[in-house]
Structures are given as C-alpha cells and as structure tokens.
Structure 1
Amino acid sequence: MDISKFSDPDFDVKEWVNGALRLPKDSKTSVDAHASMLVMKLQLFIQEVNNVLEETGGQVVQSLPRILRDVEAVRQEALLLRDQMLVVKEDIKKVETETLHSMQRLVELDSVKTRMQDTQQALQEADNWATLVLDVEQVFETQDVDQISEKVIRMQQSLNVLHDVPDYEDRRKLLESLKNRLEALLSPKLITSFNNHNTIDAQRLVDVFKGMEREGRVKEYYIQCHKLCYLMYSSIISSGESPISDGSFLPSQSLSSISSVVCVSSER
C-alpha cells in the first residue's frame, strides 16, 4: 500500500479510497475482505506514526528545559555585562574628572614655576647690573672697544629684563649715555671699515651696534659714506681729472663690498 500520498498537500481521501479498493479483474479477493485488510494496515501505520510522534514529542519536551536554561544563562550574562559596562563608564568619568583637576593643577604649578624663574632671572640681572655699572667705567679707561662693547651689551640685556623696576628710567638714561660714549669710539672705526671695504671689521662692528639696539645708526653712517663717495666723485669730474684712474672713487664699487653687511643687519 502506497502511503506517500498522505503527505501530498493535495491529498484527496475519496480518490485514494477508490484507488485502494479497485481490484484487478482476475482477483479472487472480495471487496469487503480487501477493505478489511486495508483498514488493518492503516491502523498499523497509524500506530507506528503515533509511536514516532510520541518519541519525538518526548525528545522535544526533554530538550525544552535545557533551552530555557541556556536562554536564562544568556540573559543573566547580558545583565552582568550591562552592569560591568556601567561600572566602566563611571570609572571613565571619574578618571576624566580627576585628570582634568590634575591638569589644571599642573598648569597652575607651571605658572608659579615660570613666575619664580622670571623673578630669579630679574634678581640675577639686578645683581649683574650693579656689577656691570662698577666695571664699565674702569673698562672705558682702558679704551678697549671689545671689552666696553661686551659690558654695554650685557647691560642692555639686563635692562631688558628689569623693565618693571622703579628706577628703570634712571637705568635707561645711564645706559644711553654709555651707548653714546661707546658709539663715539666705534663710529670712526666703522666708517674706516666702510671706506676700506673691510667686511670682517664692518660685520663685527655692526654686531656691536645691533647688541646696543642701534642698528639704525649703522645705516646712517653707511649713507654718509656713500654721500661722501659721490661728492668726491663729482668733485673729480668737475675738476676734469679722470675718475677711474685707480678706481678709488667709483660710486658703484666703493661700498658694494659691505652693502650686504648693512642690509643683513637691517633685516635682523
């Protein structure tokens, strides 16, 4: 007996019964006997299906508690993970708060350190100033331009730090008078270096003027030399003499060798 048709979605009971009761023409079995045999076979199949269903159902029932336990375990783990994440979040907030406070404290300490360093430097420069004032007059007596320049430049550096002291103006006036005295010693040497095209001496003297914060005076001396060169050149032309017999008074050449020194000093 073919029972595969029972699983057919389009199963038709009447069609199946009529087909199952149809006997061959040469069959000697009666329809009633054949029907009884079919009923018995169906009962056996039904019993077998019931057994299978009962066994499968039992397995399903037995597996349900384990599935439920697994689901509950997953739920508990999810809750635990959520709690742990909340704790981590709070820890992060706490660390951020403490770090911010620490950073603010570090900034305050750095400001205090900077002010202390500035104060220390100011005190050192004040002490240096007093020492330099005593030394500079003695050095002026020696007429040693290099030593005088060193003292005056160091006094300028000290004064730049002591700009907030009560007697700043008196210190500034004293330094200006010393600068004027030093410039009176340096200017002839500077002009000579310009006229002789001595770039080494010119550069050294220009650096001294720069240290005194008088770069503008270098340009004035340079312009004076340039004017003098042109005046001498014009005088020679007016007298009818050759202006280039020895190349001494060519304006395009007389100061070209040190013009770059003055330009570089101005750019600084």
Structure 2
Amino acid sequence: MKRIDNFNEINNALIKIKNYKKKLITNFYPNREKNDIWISKGNFYIIDKGEVVYFINKKARHCTLFFIASSNEELSKSLPNLIVEFQDEILILDIVQREETSELLDIFYNHSFYYYTSLVRMNRLSGGKDFLLDQPEGIKEASSSHLVSIQNLFNTFFDEKAEQLPERDELIRWIENKNILVYEENNALGGFLIYEIIGNTLYLRYWFVHPDFREKKIGSKLFNFFESKGKDTNRHIFWVIKSNENAIKRYKHYGFVEEKMYNFILSNKMISYE
C-alpha cells in the first residue's frame, strides 16, 4: 500500500486499467477537488494488484474502499489477498447501479462482504408543486461562524459509513459558495441543508433538523427555500436510505419519484445498520 502524493497517480492508474481494453468495472469516479483534500491530509492510498487497482481513504474508525478493475473476473481473483491484508480493519464500499442485484454485488458477497444498507435516488422535474420564494424567518446562508456547529451535528447524528460525511475543507468551500442554508434560533443551530447546482440539475446533499427543533416545520421551510434556489433548473435529485419509508413518503408528497438507481453500502465486517 502506497500513500498517494498527487492526483496524477489516480489518472495514471485509471489509464493503466483502461489499456487492458476489457470491460472496466469500478466504483471510483475521480473528483480532483475532493481527492486533493484526501491527498493533502495524507489519508489516501493506492494498492496496485495488476489488472485491479484499489484506493483506500483512511478515516478514524473505518477505511473507505474504491476499486478500478479490468473485469469482474480479475476483481474476484484479487479480493482474497486484499481481505487478508485488511482483516483487522473495517472496510466500507458503495456500489451504484440500476439493478437491485448484480454479478458485481455477488462477487463481494462471495468474498466475505456483507450488506450494510442501501440508498435509492429520487428526482423531481421542474414545474408542478410551488415552493416558497421568500426567505423564511430564521433561515439564512451559512457563514464561517457556523462551521463548527455543522461539523458537530454531522459527527453526532449522521452515519459516517452510509452517508459519506464531508471533510472540513468541503464544508468551507460550500459555505464560501453559499451552498449551505441554516436555521438559527437564539444563537443555536437548529438545522441545515446543503445543496449544489450543477448545470441544469439541483442536488440535495444533506438535510438535517436537530431533534430539539422538530415539530416546528423547520425542515419544510429549509426544503422549500432550497427548492426555490433551483427554480431555474430542470431536475432536482437526492439520495435517501431505502428503508426510510417515512422520508420517502414525505418526498413523494413534494412530487418526487423513486428512480431505478441504487447505492449499496457493503462492509467486510457484519455491522447492523441502526
């Protein structure tokens, strides 16, 4: 395992696997901005196993696993050695696909990986339901003064295995780009919503209301104001835990529908999702 020093090493690994000219299999889609953060922290590693390259992002309590393989067959052959190398670590990986079953999932299940949870993508086309255009009382764009409070809420209430918690530098960038809405009352942060607009698509990244502030319709105010931010986009999308039936029902009320797009979270340890 080698620590990655620069983004070019990622590109070179991708080119190497593509040059085998087989059916490339991967769960890793390089993002320079995000990957450079991991590299700068010294937490991003590469493991070269011939026709399969693994990437490891080391976190405090687990490691996130990515792979680029020339084929399912090569991936299946290389996994046993990887599992031995990380038998004392918790590995978490996610696989995004359009089917609820696949040969790729079976490869990991057959090599001592376990289902942890899964997410489904939901979308809403522009038009239809009307949303607030005026800024609701108590809701505003986040500033640097909110950074620590937002981090604390992530660390306390979110599942780092399933929800890919953002790095501090990512939060700073979102604050600078005015992509975080917060609800504040008596200097207490009652909730936040993080979004991005990419092209003609509005992406909901994270949405949270503190338990002490629920039943005040803060979540709906954040959500409606978020929707108004994307009033000129064509499509609004986000991911939700597939077993969260109450949340899915609520989103459908807003005009969203489930897509045939799933994100399966797997682990090399049997861990119960709560």
TM range (shorter): under 0.3
TM-score, length of structure 2 as denominator length: 0.18
Tell me which protein shows more strand as a share of its residues. 2
TM-score, length of structure 1 as denominator length: 0.18
Structure with the greater alpha carbon radius of gyration: 1
